[in-house]
A and B are shown apart, each in its own frame.
Chain A
Amino acid sequence: MNFDPMIPIWLQVATRIKQQIVTGELPPGSKLPGGRDLALQYGINPNTAARIYQELEREGLCQTQRGLGTFVTGSEEAVQKLREEMARRAVARFLTDLKGMGLSREDAIQLIQKEDEPDDHQ
């Protein structure tokens, strides 16, 4: 993973893990690597790795069970909420970008519909 050194590393990895939870790559209840392994996996500082789990726990997206390790939350509801939250943010970002280019909300909807038609694509 390539990091943007101007953004906190923990935030970047946490976002990546959230994406994996939302896409189902990390299904609910699945085991996450230990802090040290996470650090090695991403090539990041162990303190940063610890911070990632702290934040994910705070947001209710994972739980640490003493002696067993850290697990993705089993609550479908929490995952659904995360999905909605992330989608909402993606849309907001998208709209802001378009606005910057001088395009309206309606232009955006049109663009989405156009992009959605598979034949138009390639």
Chain B
Amino acid sequence: MITSNNLTKKFRTKTAVDGVSLTLSPGHVYAMLGPNGSGKTTWMKMAAALMKPTSGEVLYEGKPVGVESRRHVAYMSTEPYFYSWMSVKDVGDYYGDFFEDFSATKYKSLLKEMELEGAMKTRTLSSGMMAKLKIAVTMARDAQVYMLDEPFNGIDLLARDEIRHCILREASESKVLLLSSHLVEEMEAVCDTAVFIKQGKLIEVRNLEEMREADHVSMADRYREIYGHTEVSYNE
């Protein structure tokens, strides 16, 4: 459904994504793993057609990503990006104005679950509430592809179940979900496939249950093997 061919992005001093060829197929929840600066965010931004590749391409349903693919690809960035004047309700109205697959009803019920009020100003939200708001407004879309960059960041232990729930509810045979997180443990049960990226290069794509069955190895174990012992972090 989403394919990157030899995708490369160079910045002035470093190559953030280095010749990554990767296909994400419907019916899967992918975990994109790697330490900070390994190129996960850059790959996602190119797949979301926010960033132009230096070389290579990203295809959605066989066509280069762009204005058209944005109708069906929902991207959630790590950083908050809403206009400072917006209230929680304004954010929903904005998505409703631009995305045909956005459901205001779904948004409302998600806000309730997340204990957010429409009248709250985004400017004054705590980082945890902002993280929930980003999830709520993104998952209120009925997109074909969801790319969530660090969805568990800033969210306390108790609320992570809600987030997981909210993400899993959208998983289906026809959709692609891609989550990046350095909280590897949060994603063990949610994801079925792990994409390991190191220094901009694709290391491997593994089915997690197969890996557990065949090698008796968890995603976190594999993560440690690939990146060394220092970089895995559990629950902050």
- Do A and B interact directly, with beta carbons closer than 8 Å? yes
Please indicate the chain A residues that have their CB under 8 angstroms from the CB of B218 in the complex.
5-6
Partner of A40, one of B165, B220, B221: B165
Q: Contact: A47 with B192, CB < 8 Å? A: yes
Show 23 A/B contacts (Cβ-Cβ < 8 Å), sorted by A.
A3-B188, A3-B189, A5-B185, A5-B188, A5-B212, A5-B221, A6-B216, A6-B217, A6-B218, A7-B216, A9-B189, A40-B168, A43-B161, A43-B189, A44-B168, A45-B29, A45-B171, A45-B190, A47-B28, A47-B29, A48-B189, A48-B209, A51-B209
Q: How far is the CB of B8 from chain A (nearest CB, A)?
A: 31
A94 at the interface (CB under 8 A from B): no
- Beta-carbon nearest neighbor of B213 in chain A: A8
Which residues of chain B (19-54) have a CB below 8 Å from chain A?
A: 27-29
Q: How far is the CB of B120 from chain A (nearest CB, A)?
A: 27
Which residues of chain A (1-24) have a CB below 8 Å from chain B?
A: 3, 5-10
- Beta-carbon nearest neighbor of A47 in chain B: B192
Q: Contact: B188 with A39, CB < 8 Å? A: no
Query: What 4 A-B pairs come out closest when comparing CB atoms?
Result: A5-B218, A5-B188, A8-B212, A45-B192
Please indicate the chain A residues that have their CB under 8 angstroms from the CB of B189 in the complex.
3, 5, 9, 42-45, 48
B5 at the interface (CB under 8 A from A): no
Q: How far is the CB of B16 from chain A (nearest CB, A)?
A: 29
**Residue from B168, B208, B213 having most chain A Cβ neighbours under 10 A:** B168
CA of A47 to CA of B27 in the docked complex: distance in angstroms?
Answer: 8
Which residues of chain B (183-236) have a CB below 8 Å from chain A?
A: 185, 188-192, 208-209, 212-213, 216-221
Which B residues lie at the A interface, using CB under 8 A?
Answer: 27-29, 161, 164-165, 168-169, 171-172, 185, 188-192, 208-209, 212-213, 216-221
A69 at the interface (CB under 8 A from B): no
Partner of A46, one of B164, B172, B221: B172
Q: How far is the CB of A108 from chain B (nearest CB, A)?
A: 28
Q: How far is the CB of B195 from chain A (nearest CB, A)?
A: 15
Partner of B221, one of A6, A42, A43, A51: A6
Please indicate the chain B residues that have their CB under 8 angstroms from the CB of A8 in the complex.
209, 212-213
Partner of B168, one of A5, A7, A46: A46
Please indicate the chain B residues that have their CB under 8 angstroms from the CB of A48 in the complex.
189, 192, 209
Please indicate the chain A residues that have their CB under 8 angstroms from the CB of B191 in the complex.
45
Please indicate the chain A residues that have their CB under 8 angstroms from the CB of B209 in the complex.
8-10, 48, 51
